């Protein structure tokens, strides 16, 4: 038999799922004055009932959630009319922490020009055009939200408008609101509604690096509600080569 040297060059796609959802319990901070999360037992097996059933009382804006236009605009559509195609698909995570506080805005949001440049640079890095990005998640925080932060910077309304004008479908943030706590005009919310951009708030972006992947972030189908909780997942694929096994070395035959 002819001796053979076999080398295997193989590659496989490795998929990683990152959970971007903020865990919700009684300690999850709501907007000041809003209803915190409370869970109580209605029926209990220990108490002799056939099943365990809990009752939950909370705001529609607890933890990770999507705001519907009706949240800030009378007559705006409610959460059950959220376009689901905006909530699923190709997405870019951008770390804007170095960009927060450099603008002259009183709340220090990351300004349009810098966020736009960062998005363009990340897109260029993988041979893409910034205009092809329809979903973007902006990381502002070093740690997940654990207490109410009254200094939340919100988003630059000009950025929201620019993103929507270029076909953007969804913006997600790790802040609890698109606008700062003291804002009464809510310009970033308004810009999103005008541009048809879905508003995803309260993400935890601390465990996933910048870059592209797929977002899945669907709101509960709560008819008529102004917002609803979301389980947000980011799926990233990486091509890894499998180490080439030791080649088969021909066996020397004794004469
Ligand atoms: Zn909200």
Residue positions annotated with a catalytic role: 71
Supply the pLDDT for residue 145: 82
- Would 230 be classed as within a structural domain? yes
Q: Give the tens place of pLDDT for each residue, 185-222.
A: 999 999 999 999 999 999 999 999 999 999 999 999 99
For position 164, what pLDDT does the model report? 97
In 140-226 the beta strands, taken as DSSP E runs, fall at: 170-173, 198-201, 211-219
**Residue 206 counted as domain residue:** yes
CA of 227 to the centre of ligand 1 (A): 7
pLDDT of 2 strictly over 50? no
pLDDT per residue as tens digits for the range 83-98: 999 999 999 999 999 8
Structure-model confidence comparison of residues 253 and 26, the more confident one: 26
Residue 254 included in any domain: no
Q: Into how many domains does the chain fold?
A: 1
Q: What is the pLDDT of residue 133?
A: 97
CA of 67 to the centre of ligand 1 (A): 5
Q: Which residue has the higher pLDDT, 93 or 246?
A: 93
User: Does residue 50 form part of some domain?
Assistant: no
Q: Is residue 187 part of a domain?
A: yes
What's the CATH code of the domain at 129? 3.50.30.50
Q: Which domain holds residue 102?
A: 12-23+60-242
- 215 inside domain: yes
Task: Tell how far the Cα of 79 is from the centroid of ligand 1, in angstroms.
Answer: 11
Average pLDDT in the chain: 89
Write down the pLDDT at residue 100.
83
User: Is there a domain that residue 33 lies in?
Assistant: no
- Long-range Cβ pairs for the range 145-151 (8 Å, 24+): 145/22, 145/29, 145/174, 145/175, 145/176, 145/202, 145/204, 146/27, 146/29, 147/29, 148/29, 148/30, 148/31, 148/32, 148/176, 149/175, 149/176, 150/32, 150/181, 151/107, 151/180
For ligand 1, the distance from its centroid to the CA atom of residue 70, given in whole angstroms, is: 11
For residue 8, report the distance from its CA to the centre of ligand 1, in Å.
Answer: 52
Residue 224, judged by CB atoms within 10 A of its CB (0-12, 13-18, 19+), counts as exposed
pLDDT for residue 68: 98
């Amino acid at each position: 038999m002819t001796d053979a040297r076999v080398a295997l060059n193989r590659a496989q796609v490795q998929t990683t799922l990152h959970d971007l959802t903020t865990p919700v319990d009684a300690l999850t901070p709501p907007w000041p004055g809003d209803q915190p999360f409370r869970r109580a037992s209605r029926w209990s097996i220990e108490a002799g009932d056939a099943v365990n059933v809990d009752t939950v009382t909370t705001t529609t804006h607890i933890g990770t959630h999507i705001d519907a236009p009706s949240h800030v605009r009378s007559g705006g559509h409610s959460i059950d009319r959220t376009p689901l195609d905006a909530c699923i698909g190709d997405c870019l995570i951008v770390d804007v922490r170095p960009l927060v506080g450099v603008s002259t805005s009183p709340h220090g949001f990351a300004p349009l020009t810098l966020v736009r440049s960062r998005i363009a640079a990340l897109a260029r890095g993988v041979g893409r055009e910034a205009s092809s990005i329809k979903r973007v998640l902006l990381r502002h925080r070093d740690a997940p939200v654990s207490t109410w932060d009254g200094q939340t910077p919100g988003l630059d309304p000009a950025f929201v408008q620019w993103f929507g004008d270029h076909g953007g479908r969804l913006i997600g943030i790790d802040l609890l609101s698109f606008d700062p706590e003291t804002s009464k005009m809510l310009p970033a919310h308004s810009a999103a509604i005008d541009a048809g951009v879905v508003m995803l708030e309260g993400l935890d972006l601390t465990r996933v690096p910048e870059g592209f992947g797929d977002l899945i972030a669907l709101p509960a189908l709560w008819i008529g509600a102004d917002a609803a909780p979301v389980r947000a997942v980011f799926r990233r694929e990486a091509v890894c080569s499998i180490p080439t096994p030791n080649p088969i070395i021909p066996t020397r035959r004794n004469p």
